[in-house]
Amino acid sequence: MLNKLSENVFYIAGRTNIGVITLSKNECIIIDSGIDEDYGKKILKILFSNNFKIKALINTHAHADHIGGNKIIYDRINVKICSSFGEKPFIENPLLEPLYLYSTYPPKILRSKLFMADPTPVHEVLENDFNNLKIIKLPGHSLDMIGIVYENVAFIADALFSREILEKHSIPYHLNIKQALETIENLKKLKNLIYLPSHGAPTENIEELIEHNISAIMKIKNLIIEELSSPKSIDELAKIVIQKTLNKINNVGQYFLIKSALLSYISWFDEEKLIEISIVDNVPIISLK
């Protein structure tokens, strides 16, 4: 169903929230498309039942749970797909996503719908605005993630996660921790809006959401720093952090996702000159300076 946020702004609630912005009585723009074909079909069914035609589909970023419904929507109605410049290559060639998680051609489990959607073309790169929608830059969680502000609603994608998501997953995924924190700080400048994260309920209290997200990042940062009181390999560090946060993981794909998240902290610490990386017995070892 369509949940109303303001006069012309709605969302379809689900594992990934889908934004719907109405431009006229029968035309709309949608934001993201969910994880798979079934999600895309659900979006089409809801919008068609409300007599809407989809003018464009905006992808906030290229993670599979945001672009997985692209293909069925594109195939059915030849929709115009839009994204940022940095996310465009990943939407058009989704193999790039598991490729960087695994560092080479990925095994089958990393080519599942959880990590790799079907490819679709991107017809327009968004910069400042689009059909009176304000495009805001939200890098950090992914390379070039964007958000959308329209009327009094801000679609903030995965720049912030709900408290429930943070408690469930413990290690929030960000490609670039430093940028993610800068994006969170920039979100403080958006005032008097309804904020809709991709995963979680809409809220007018962004300060609380910001506090939970910064706290989650700092918790992992402090844990890693604590464990680096004695030098460790990346795999040793990953094992300890998993044990102390999640206790256990369920599959290989989850391991590589968490390892990628931890490596972003290592890059951040290296940039801040907190650590050094050396080779000991042919293995990269991380140690505090």
> Residue 277 forms beta bridges with which residues?
286
Distance CA 259, CA 62 (A): 19
For residue 127, what pLDDT is reported?
86
Provide the pLDDT confidence category of residue 150 given band limits of 50, 70 and 90: very high
User: What DSSP character marks residue 20?
Assistant: E
For residue 24, what pLDDT is reported?
82
For residue 285, what pLDDT is reported?
97
Structure tokens at 278: 């050396």
Asked whether the predicted pLDDT for residue 259 surpasses 80, the reply is yes
Structure tokens at 200: 């979680």
For residue 49, what pLDDT is reported?
95
The size of the chain, in residues, is 289
What's the one-letter identity of residue 172? P
pLDDT mean across residues, the chain = 95
For Cα atoms 146, 148, 149, give the angle at the middle one, nearest 5 degrees: 145
Q: What is the mean pLDDT of residues 97-112?
A: 96
> Residue 147 forms beta bridges with which residues?
136
Provide the pLDDT confidence category of residue 248 given band limits of 50, 70 and 90: confident
Provide the pLDDT confidence category of residue 25 given band limits of 50, 70 and 90: confident
Q: What is the mean pLDDT of residues 209-232?
A: 96
Tokens 């993201």 identify what position? Answer: 32
> Residue 57 forms beta bridges with which residues?
30, 81
Report all structural domains of the chain as residue ranges with CATH numbers, in order of start.
3-218 (3.60.15.10), 221-288 (1.10.10)
For residue 253, what pLDDT is reported?
92
CB atoms within 10 A of CB 27: 14
CB atoms within 10 A of CB 173: 16
For residue 220, what pLDDT is reported?
96
Distance CA 184, CA 197 (A): 12
Q: What is the mean pLDDT of residues 62-76?
A: 98
Asked whether the predicted pLDDT for residue 247 surpasses 80, the reply is no
Q: Lowest-pLDDT range, 23-32, 110-119, 268-277? A: 23-32
Q: What is the mean pLDDT of residues 160-165?
A: 92
What's the one-letter identity of residue 28? C
For residue 168, what pLDDT is reported?
84
Structure tokens at 164: 């429930």
Strands 80-83 vs 53-58: parallel, antiparallel or unpaired: parallel
Q: What is the mean pLDDT of residues 72-98?
A: 98
For residue 278, what pLDDT is reported?
96
Burial class (CB in 10 A: 0-12, 13-18, 19+), 224: buried
| pTM of the predicted structure, to 2 decimals | 0.96
For Cα atoms 90, 33, 75, give the angle at the middle one, nearest 5 degrees: 85
Provide the pLDDT confidence category of residue 207 given band limits of 50, 70 and 90: very high
Distance CA 185, CA 163 (A): 18
Distance CA 181, CA 122 (A): 28
